[in-house]
Amino acid sequence: MVYLAGQGVPDAGQALTRLEEAGYVLFFVTNNSTRSSQVTAARIEELTGYPAWAAQVIGSAQAAVAMVPEGAGPVLVVGGSGIREAMARAGVPETEDPRAAHAVIVGLDTGITYERLRDAVVAVRSGARFIATNTDATYPTPDGLWPGAGAMVAAIQVAAGTEPEIAGKPHPAIRSLIRARLAPGPVWVVGDRPETDLAMAKAEGWTSVLVLTGVVRDPGGIPEGLRPDLVLRSIADLPEALHP
């Protein structure tokens, strides 16, 4: 968690720079599929001052597209430009015809319409694979929690009567993308969601760090199986935690 909606976490950029200078390799793993890797990296730099680059960003849109086999057929999209950018890079065609879709990829869509939900349901009921970038019910903003991709996935799931395959944190598809980029050595996962960030760390045997700048403000309510190895006020405190 380095920014919240349109506001950078205070001192996050300085913390990221200190970590990089200390020799740590940084990746930004996000379930937000609305932006491309390039736009996400630029957003990180804009809001924190840390000069992130696109290759550091690993997103649920990339993971969802990786689940579509090469040459499998066109995909109907419910979501933002991040999914379409990942599809273009992978050479996966898009369709607007629900009965021609091999798969439906669903992410957060802030302009969603009834017609788009209808087409997604028709596609899934016609045999298309149902792939969710993530099922986060909400996402945090300075004004509180707003509906997330999971709210859109749930609507299609109920109407189509089909469970989605899930690409993002903490599921195997995105973990596979992360593992492919890791060098040997310890891995620290820093995040604000127990059911995604902490669960992903637990699944891979990585060290989990909960920051209190997002969804969770009281770590006492986290289920025992997801409790973090470390709790910090924010990512700004991570350099000191690693090198007290």
* Same domain flag for 119 and 56: no
* Same domain flag for 85 and 156: yes
* Same domain flag for 234 and 175: yes
pLDDT for the residue 244 = 66
When the pLDDT of each residue in the chain is averaged and rounded to a whole number, the result is 94
pLDDT for the residue 170 = 96
> How far is Cα 84 from Cα 78, in angstroms, rounded to an integer?
10
The angle subtended at Cα 96 by Cα 92 and Cα 176, nearest 5°, is 35
* Same domain flag for 203 and 227: yes
* Same domain flag for 73 and 97: yes
* Same domain flag for 222 and 101: no
pLDDT surpassing 90 at residue 218: no
Tokens of 86: 């990942």
**188-198 pLDDT per residue, tens:** 999 999 999 99
Domain holding 232, by residue range, is 3-60+170-242
**Domain finish residue from 141, 166, 191:** 166
pLDDT for the residue 194 = 93
pLDDT surpassing 70 at residue 239: yes
* Same domain flag for 136 and 196: no
* Same domain flag for 206 and 160: no
**92-125 pLDDT per residue, tens:** 999 999 999 999 999 999 999 999 999 999 999 9
- Domain with 205 in it: what CATH number? 3.40.50.1000
CB 56 within 8 A of CB 19: no
**158-213 pLDDT per residue, tens:** 999 999 999 999 999 999 999 999 989 999 999 999 999 999 999 999 999 999 98
Structural domain count, the chain: 2
* Same domain flag for 157 and 99: yes
* Same domain flag for 34 and 152: no
**Domain finish residue from 166, 192, 222:** 166
**Domain finish residue from 166, 186, 206:** 166
Q: What is the average pLDDT across 129-157? A: 92
What is the pLDDT confidence band of residue 62, given thresholds at 50, 70 and 90?
A: very high
pLDDT surpassing 80 at residue 4: no
pLDDT for the residue 130 = 98
- Would you list the DSSP string of the chain? --EETTEEPTTHHHHHHHHHHTT----EEE---SS-HHHHHHHHHHHH-----GGGEEEHHHHHHHTSPTT---EEEES-HHHHHHHHHHT--B-S-TTT-SEEEE---TT--HHHHHHHHHHHHTT-EEEES---SEEEETTEEEE-HHHHHHHHHHHHT-PPEE-STTSHHHHHHHHHHPPSS--EEEES-IIIIIHHHHHHT-EEEEESSSS-S-GGGS-GGG--SEEESSGGGHHHHH--
SS3 annotation, 159-209? HHCCCCEECCCCCHHHHHHHHHHCCCCCCEEEECCHHHHHHHHHHHCCEEE
pLDDT for the residue 63 = 98
pLDDT for the residue 121 = 98
* Same domain flag for 73 and 159: yes
pLDDT surpassing 80 at residue 153: yes
* Same domain flag for 76 and 127: yes
Nearest to 38 by CA among 81, 87, 91, 92: 81
